[in-house]
Structure 1
Amino acid sequence: MRNMVKNFSSNIPKQKTRKIWMKKRSKHWWNTIVKSETFDDQMVENFRMDKQSFQFLCEKLSPALSPSAIVVREAIPVDMKVGIALYKLASCAEYRVVGNQFGVHKSTVKKCVYEFCRAVVDVLLKDEIHLPDESECLSIIRGFEEKSGVPQILGAIDGTHVPIRPPLDGGADYINRKGWPSMVLQAVVDCNYLFMDITCKHPGSVHDATVLKDSYLSINIDKFKFPKATINGVEMSAFFIGDPAYPQLPWLIKGYTGTLDPVEDSFNAYLNRARIVVENAFGRLKGRWRILQKRIDIDVKFVPHIVATCCVLHNILERRRSPYRETWNTDTSTMSDLLTQPASTNITSTLQGDEIRNHLKLYMAQNFPLIRSIKSNV
């Protein structure tokens, strides 16, 4: 009997000691090339910012991105996390491609992108994107008046559609009027192409006027103190400007539509000189962060974090005068041809908004030469 037990136990295979296994990947590009002194010029192309701005970002986000004290494997340092996330946002490459570039697994890339975007939103959003205070308002008004001649403009409002991968449940809601899935990004931009307010939570089928109604700006508009000035003997509060997709309100003025007389057409031309800043801001935003040009291969619930992160980074880099390459605009134009932005539809005006616009129209006609808008020249 003892021999039987002995023989039986000897046939049981011995358990092998488990080892933590990880495929070896090369970090040569990051450790050797990126960190070399000769990489400065390529820094802008790969990460869309100069080295000083990159270091500034790492310092700001270090408390939020530093690895925990207890780790099983070698932790990803903060600067590498930032680099991985920026490379993804700038190139819109697949997780696998980014992982191969940095020598990490694709799941690590995804984790870095999510951590980085959450950190940017939690740490930097409120400081970088906010409505202006009194002194900032006056500076912005002067900036817009220098650009257009129109007084009391505080910002330009517009929307753009960001391509997404729609969810299986309710995906039809995300199909915009051009027939492709998107989320709407609405932004208020100042005279220096900086975002002052953003809203990105609505499916592509939602009208711009509805997005405006749900925005932080609209909800808190009664709390905002608009600077006032006397224009041709009439006290007038500052206002934002938008395209025909928005309702005309006392605080939101848009151009004339329909059959226009020369004075109305001229007013539109001057107003468009100011409103172009929001279109330029969107162009520079998408030029830097190409992930916003193609279908974002990320869960639709996290897309607002991606968009908000790109807007925050845009403001930081514009304020720091970080280089922007005009060749990036070519990429944006190419994608715009493939995914045409949905056209806006007109919304009715309020009487008070019309009175303000008419007064501005007369002021411009009395103080500036009549000019023709682009549409009237076509």
Structure 2
Amino acid sequence: MEFSESVLCVASFSRSPEQAAAELRQQLTGDALDLVLFFCSAEYDLTRLASALNQQFEDIPLVGCTTAGEITPQGYGQGCITAIGFRRGRFAVAAVGVNELHSFSLTDAQSMVDRLISDCRAKEIAPIKGNSFALTLFDGLSIQEEMVLASLNAALGSIPTFGGSAGDDVHLTNTHVFFDGQFHSDSAVVLLFNTACRFEVFSTHHMRNCSEKLVVTAADPDARRVLELNAEPAAVEYARAVGVELSELNHEVFALNPIAVKLGDEYFVRSIQQVNDDLSLTFYCAVENGIVLTVMEPGPIIPNLQQQLADIREEVGEPQLVIGCDCFLRRLEIELLGICDEVSDILRDNRVIGFNTYGEQTAGMHINQTFTGVAIGPCPEGGHADE
């Protein structure tokens, strides 16, 4: 079969919101689409872009978010918009937006999941169990991912889930998700995909642990802020542990010297967002008093990525699409290493479409410095799974 039978992957590199929306619509033609998922630069005038997208796709549901960089059909992009059209009859996709994240409860999650399942089931694509996965997109500056994910993961049960937190080209000021025809802040959107195509949700990172340990001895968990590490000002102790001067701390140092928490046998990176005036550190993920953080060092990023993509092909066959949530600190590391073109080619050759995030989500957890997503393989002839 042609891999384009189920999905259409397109991009526009125009900086004009109106032209970009028109170019996306021109490319997303053919069979009726059940939904269009897009990832766009925050450099666009979002009010104009929303209006243009609504005009071009008035008959097709649209969901998306702003980014810290885009992954297009040609590989890495910047300052552009990339989109995926899911063809009706191959996919049933339902989406529900969440406002007021701080008050989201397990009851809200269960109601949402019931609605998503009902909407997908009505389209009669495949049985829900074993043929569905969920995607979460969050306002990347909301500081609410962990709380919402805990409730949502419980409600989804055995349905695998992954996602990413919206970025804003590393300005750290305004991040947005798009649903119901508008860009929203302090919000999230949850999508349920039901398909007969084979798929696999995955997450990988290339970090290796060192022996240096940092204990959080004072923290403000609600603000994701660490005040002290090993009873010293957090920024001072982190700088000492990674061997740099306090004045040298920046995104590049954070990308190349991450710290992680160990859960079971796995390490999960807790990326640092910024140094504050009081020498505390603000993180992209949850932190709390008493946790032990391990200083990590990057391993070879390309072999790790290639192995993950090889594992995907073993699991689902040649992918027709990989939706990728790629931490912006990984992309920064790739750029610092001068291997951006090589990685971009790998993403293109493996049909990865997605965005650079302010954090990734998998299995109900909010994590950092990973490449997380779903690989969608071939569909059976006729597009329907057996009951």
Is TM > 0.5 for Structure 1 vs Structure 2? Answer: no
In our comparison, the structure showing a higher alpha carbon Rg is 1
TM-score, L = length of structure 2: 0.23
The structure with the greater share of residues assigned to helix is 1
The structure with the greater share of residues assigned to strand is 2
TM-score, L = length of structure 1: 0.23
